[in-house]
Amino acid sequence: MTGSSLHGGPDPMARAAVVSVPARSVARPWVSHTARRMMFGYTLLAPAALYVMLLVAAPFLFSLYLAVSDASVGDPVAHFIGLENFRAAWEMDLFWLALRNSVVFFVVAAILKSLLGTSLAFLLLQNFKGKKLIRGLVVIPFTLPIAISVLSWKWMYDSQFSVINWVLSRLGLIGQFGSEGWPVWLGDPKLALAACILVNVWRTFPFSAIVLLAGFTSVPVEVLDAAKVDGCTFFQRFRHVVAPMIFPILMIGFLFDTVFTLSDLSVVYLLTQGGPANATKILPVLAYQIGIQAGNLGRGAAIALFLVPLLLPALILVLRNIKRREW
């Protein structure tokens, strides 16, 4: 910053000042070059660092505080009540149901999207005409804002005019509307969670495929050729060359998906709001309903924080991976 005011511009005097190093150190003998660079650097870094500290780090700590207080929307004065909120959540049947649903949701969705994503990635790895267009179309679910695409699913899951049911009915797999086997996707406790999981899988399997594809294409052809020359079979090449090289990228993709799937409220909230009969109640929906709708900020924060131990293993795994890589 100071550097620019002293030597900015093409003015010949300033040029001379930069080229002749002694002149500069005479001008500011007490500030070394390194110190000036660092000062400049921290000045540039400060706005972003402050923003993130004030609006991410501080709220995170604040949520720890909320979780041990009796704060509510109506009453701005919060009192310390210790671990009462956690204990109350622990004793709430609904909390355990939500935890179970969250875990089922995450695990089933992860299995399905990795199967679909892997097969799609292998297909997109081939050379064929129109690849760019097809790739562009296939990733649309991931690029469409989630609140918007969920609406389409809500309409497709309509209790009477569901297009899915129309197809199933025409195929003879289910009867007419009103008959015994007519599935009410969002109204039947047995189907609702599966319906929500399907939307999550639909949205994120292109992401899995693209991450995997990025991993595959990051493996240099020379390395594969070298392995081939050395007599490795396809599976040996995959096991000993490709897999270790794409592992870090896969881990990071996995972490992102874990965070976004476990903490996402919009799919379930927009489709069922946690119903019917709490069949789709997951932790984020419970935290929202208790924290905002019932106005019990402390209890809501405590429930949201129960997500942290679920997210932590993935986070640590990835941090270790980042650290191991070269800078």
Partner 1 sequence: MARVLTEARTAPPMSQRRKDIRRHVLIYAALIPFLIIAVFPIYWMLITAFKQDPDLYRMDHIPFWFNMKPTLRNFDILFHQTNYGAWLLNTFTISAWVSAITLLTAVPAGYALARLKLPGSENTGIAIFLTYLVPPIILFLPLSRIVAELGLQDSWWSLVVVYPTFTIPFCTWLLMGFFKTVPMEIEEAARVDGCGQAGAFLRVILPISLPGVLTSVIFAFTLSMQDFLYGLAFVSPGDQKPVPVGVPTELIRGDVYYWGSLMGAALLVGLPVAVLYNFFLDRFIQGITGGIGK
Q: Does 179 bind partner 1 (CB under 8 A)?
A: no
Minimum CB–partner distance for residue 54 and partner 1 (Å): 9
Q: Does 183 bind partner 1 (CB under 8 A)?
A: no
* For partner 1, the closer CB: 180 or 326: 326
* For partner 1, the closer CB: 10 or 82: 10
Site for partner 1 in 59-88 (CB under 8 A): 59-60, 62-63, 66, 71
Q: Does 279 bind partner 1 (CB under 8 A)?
A: no
Minimum CB–partner distance for residue 197 and partner 1 (Å): 14
Minimum CB–partner distance for residue 209 and partner 1 (Å): 9
* For partner 1, the closer CB: 45 or 83: 45
Q: Does 143 bind partner 1 (CB under 8 A)?
A: yes
* For partner 1, the closer CB: 154 or 278: 154
Minimum CB–partner distance for residue 292 and partner 1 (Å): 5
Out of 215, 241, 242, 281, point to the residue binding partner 1 (CB under 8 A): 215
Out of 22, 82, 222, 325, point to the residue binding partner 1 (CB under 8 A): 325
From the list 189, 183, 188, the residue with the least C-alpha distance to 97 is: 189
Minimum CB–partner distance for residue 87 and partner 1 (Å): 19
Query: How many Å apart are CA 108 and CA 103, to the nearest integer?
Result: 8
Q: If DSSP states are collapsed to H, E and C, what string results for the chain?
A: CHHHHHHCCCCHHHHHHHHCHHHHHHHCCCCCHHHHHHHHHHHHHHHHHHHHHHHHHHHHHHHHHHHCECCCCCCCCCCECCCHHHHHHHCCHHHHHHHHHHHHHHHHHHHHHHHHHHHHHHHHHCCCCCHHHHHHHHCHHHHCCHHHHHHHHHHHCCCCCCHHHHHHHHCCCCCCCCCCCCCCCCCCHHHHHHHHHHHHHHHHHHHHHHHHHHHHHCCCHHHHHHHHHCCCCHHHHHHHHHHHHHHHHHHHHHHHHHHHHHHCCHHHHHHCCCCCCCCCCCHHHHHHHHHHHCCCHHHHHHHHHCHHHHHHHHHHHHHHHHHHCCC
Q: Does 94 bind partner 1 (CB under 8 A)?
A: no
Candidates 53-61, 83-91, 183-191, 234-242 — which segment interacts with partner 1 by CB under 8 A? 53-61
Out of 141, 185, 192, 289, point to the residue binding partner 1 (CB under 8 A): 141
Q: Contact letters (x/-) for partner 1, 6-45, by CB under 8 A? A: xxxxxx--xx--xx----------------xxx-xxxxxx
Site for partner 1 in 158-177 (CB under 8 A): 160-161, 163, 166, 177
